[in-house]
Chains A and B, each alone.
Chain A
Amino acid sequence: MPTIAHAALAAPVDLNGPGHYLNWGVIQISVANLVVIAVMVVVFLAAVLLPFPKGRGRK
């Protein structure tokens, strides 16, 4: 059964092309996965470092 690609619903960013891979010694990682991991680390650091709105009075 053919996969029907509806032109109207086609993704603006087409990730179906061949992936790009990076190599460091024994490590091989896709750019996509590296981006995901990097974003997670940045978000974690941001969560820990960004100032939090000061609380209201002590109870």
Chain B
Amino acid sequence: MSAREQPGATEPDEASGWTAAVRRRAVRALPPDKLLPDTQPRYMASWIYVFGVLTLAAFLVALGSGAVLAIQGPAWWHTSGIGHFFNSLHLWSVELFMAFMVIHLWGKFFMAAWRGRRALTWITGAVAFLGSIGTAFTGYLAQQNLDSQWIAVESKDALNAVGIGAYFDPMNFGQMLMWHIVLLPAVVGILIAAHLLMVRRRGIVPPLPLPGTDTDEPEEQP
């Protein structure tokens, strides 16, 4: 095997094939010290910047507590004190997730964080927000108690009115549970991953220039 087929860090990567092509693109987009930098821009001097990672942490706690609920199935928490505790953990981590995410959103909006080719970062975040609402909706439907009964029979009207109810039935517990634990977390998870990778790729958006300064630019373009 020649040295050329085993590219090292300093040799040009000229190997052929799909794998090598993907590798080159990935490394070019996100070299290791861009993927995991150990420095940050000096202007990141505000507590508002911690709400992204707090949102991510809350998402992981929600996933973890949900995983524990899955171990003994959807009815466990009604008859077990420990199960009920994990249901509470799941509920409160989701409340924290939503709260941190919205505070993060408020911050990013007032920073006009979509500037400098960061529109896709905003878009993935916004769609993840909407996806999270859908995930929470299916979660409430999966509770198998009075609340879920009412939410099912009420929400069916909105879904039926626009035709979605023909295929997505909030009264179908099995369908709602699978959307909640498989489909929607996967979509939201992928969006979050893409969002994070884009933040690393573009870097943290620089401060808005103060009006009247030399660097004042025309209306910010994404």
Contact = CB atoms under 8 A, between A and B. Distances in A.
Contacts of A55: 42, 45
Interface in B3-43: 39, 42
Interface string A28-59: 00000000100110011011101010110011
Contact of A48 (B48, B75, B85, B95): B48
Nearest to A39: B99
B78 A1 contact: yes
B42 A58 contact: yes
B215 interface: no
Interface of B: 39, 42, 45-48, 50-51, 75, 78-82, 84-85, 88, 95, 99, 102-103, 106-107
Interface of A: 1, 3-4, 6, 8-9, 11, 36, 39-40, 43-44, 46-48, 50, 52, 54-55, 58-59
Given A40-B99, A47-B48, 13 more contacts: A4-B79, A4-B80, A6-B84, A9-B81, A36-B99, A39-B99, A40-B102, A47-B46, A47-B47, A47-B51, A48-B46, A55-B45, A59-B39
